[in-house]
């Protein structure tokens, strides 16, 4: 029996991978909770790469200072913090020089905060994509967060230079760094999902975002050490996942004696909860986003 003779007529291009030729897709109203289709997300991985690539490329092409922006923001903040909090207010810095104490926290923080800001505006900033072509929309905020990794790497390079300058050798705990970075990324994404979807429904969310990140900045031990808090409260403090990230960075890189331990577990759980809620809410808005944006 000759099978799929029709298909051979369609697939003219040799070497074309189209195993899904006869796949049947059903398009119907979703009711209730609609999970993401992991196979589909995987299928669109190249698009994620291109979205990130385009964001990064355009950002560096369009700005006068380009790559320098990645450094200017955390470095200037570090200078200001060092002057006011370190020098004038004499805030303790867990036994390391205050500039590197704050900068080691500012690097993951800047990654987190920029990712959050970019992600929260990402949906409303791409009506063209959303209304004219289909792809899993979650890629838009995800790409916005991933795009920040380039800036992170550059800012992290400065951190390494500073460590050399201050003569600080990283500890073996540095192996935890990728995990801590992942936590910052997921937290940024989780909050970004919430805000990007909220921003679609309520346009004044965008005015709230800078305010939110500012409050969050001071609620995170960047300018000060979390060791100022008494021990039982510290774990509660971990409900702000960035506390775990920031303290983890200092612990892994600067050898500061504030092993985040249980605090990190609290942070990770808080992040997962935030992420799960964000995904559900994002999916809810996702359904009507093309009609609204």
Partner 1 sequence: MGDFAIRLEGLGKRYRIGARRVRYRTLRDTLADALVSPFTRRGRRTGDRPGASDSAEIIWALKDVSFQVAHGEVVGIIGRNGAGKSTLLKILSRITEPTAGFAEVRGRVGSLLEVGTGFHAELTGRENIFFNGAILGMKRREVARKFDEIVAFAEVERFIDTPVKHYSSGMHLRLAFAVAAHLEPEVLLVDEVLAVGDASFQKKCLSKMEDVGGRGRTIVFVSHNMPAITRLCERAVLLEEGRVISDGPAHQVVSTYLNAGGGTAKLREWPDRTKAPGGSVARLRAVRIVKEGDLPANSVDIRRPLRIEMEYEVVKSGYVLMPYVHFNNEEGVRAFSAHDVDPDWQGRPRPTGRYVSVVWVPGNFLAEGMMFVGVGLRVISPNIREFHESDVVAFQVVDSPDGDSARGPFVGTMLGVVRPLLRWTTEFRSGSSRSS
Instruction: Give the dihedral sign, CA 181/182/188/191.
Output: negative
Count other C-beta atoms under 10 Å from residue 216's C-beta.
17
Q: Which helix (H) or strand (E) holds 147?
A: helix 139-165
The one among 133, 178, 211, 231 contacting partner 1 by CB under 8 A:
133
Per rule CB under 8 A, is residue 66 in the interface with partner 1?
no
Output the smallest distance, CB 31 to partner 1, in A. Answer: 11
- How many other β-carbons are positioned within 10 Å of the β-carbon of residue 191? 28
Q: 93 is written with which tokens?
A: 């810095």
According to the binding rule CB under 8 A, does residue 202 interact with partner 1? Answer: yes
| 39 scored as a contact of partner 1 (CB under 8 A) | no
Residue 183: count of CB within 10 angstroms of its CB:
22
Closer residue to partner 1 (CB): 45 or 87:
45
**Rule CB under 8 A: is residue 270 a binding residue for partner 1?**
no
In 222-236, which positions are buried (b, 16+ CB within 10 angstroms) versus exposed (e)? Answer: bbbbbbeeeeeebbe
Q: Which stretch binds partner 1 (CB under 8 A): 126-134, 228-236, 245-253, 271-279?
A: 126-134
Instruction: For partner 1, give the closer residue by CB, 1 or 24.
Output: 24
- Figure out which of the listed residues 1, 2, 5, 28 binds partner 1, where binding follows CB under 8 A: 28
User: Cβ 284 to partner 1, closest distance in Å?
Assistant: 9
Q: What are phi and psi of 260, to 5 degrees?
A: -65, -35
Nearer to partner 1, 119 or 200 (CB): 200
- Contact flag: residue 254 with partner 1 (CB under 8 A): no
- CA–CA distances in Å: residue 202 to residues 101, 111, 137: 38, 25, 18
- Closer to partner 1 by Cβ: residue 242 or 285: 285
Residues that bind partner 1 (CB under 8 A): 6, 9-10, 12-13, 16-18, 20-30, 46-47, 49-50, 53-54, 57-58, 61-62, 128-135, 198, 200-205, 208, 285, 287-288, 290-292
């Amino acid at each position: 029996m000759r099978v799929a003779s029709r298909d051979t007529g369609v697939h003219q291009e040799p070497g074309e991978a189209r195993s899904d030729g006869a796949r049947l897709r059903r398009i119907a109203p979703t009711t209730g909770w609609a999970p993401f289709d992991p196979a589909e997300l995987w299928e669109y991985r190249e698009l994620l790469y291109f979205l990130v690539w385009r964001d990064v490329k355009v950002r560096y092409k369009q700005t006068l200072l380009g790559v320098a922006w990645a450094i200017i923001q955390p470095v200037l903040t570090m200078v200001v913090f060092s002057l006011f909090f370190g020098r004038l207010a004499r805030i303790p810095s867990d036994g390391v020089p205050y500039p590197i104490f704050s900068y080691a926290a500012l690097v993951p923080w800047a990654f987190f905060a920029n990712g959050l800001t970019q992600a929260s505006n990402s949906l409303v900033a791409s009506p063209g994509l959303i209304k004219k072509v289909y792809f899993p929309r979650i890629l838009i905020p995800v790409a916005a967060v991933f795009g920040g990794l380039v800036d992170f790497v550059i800012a992290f390079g400065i951190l390494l230079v500073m460590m050399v300058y201050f003569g600080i050798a990283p500890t073996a705990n540095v192996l935890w760094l990728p995990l801590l970075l992942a936590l910052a990324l997921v937290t940024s994404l989780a909050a970004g999902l919430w805000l990007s979807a909220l921003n679609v429904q309520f346009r004044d969310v965008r005015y709230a975002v800078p305010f939110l990140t500012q409050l969050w900045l001071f609620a995170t031990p960047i300018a000060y050490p979390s060791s100022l808090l008494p021990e039982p409260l510290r774990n509660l403090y971990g409900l702000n996942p960035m506390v775990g990230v920031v303290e983890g960075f200092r612990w892994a890189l600067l050898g500061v004696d504030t092993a985040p331990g249980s605090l990190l577990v609290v942070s990770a759980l808080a992040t997962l909860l935030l992420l799960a809620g964000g995904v559900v809410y994002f999916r809810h808005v996702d359904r009507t986003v093309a009609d609204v944006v």
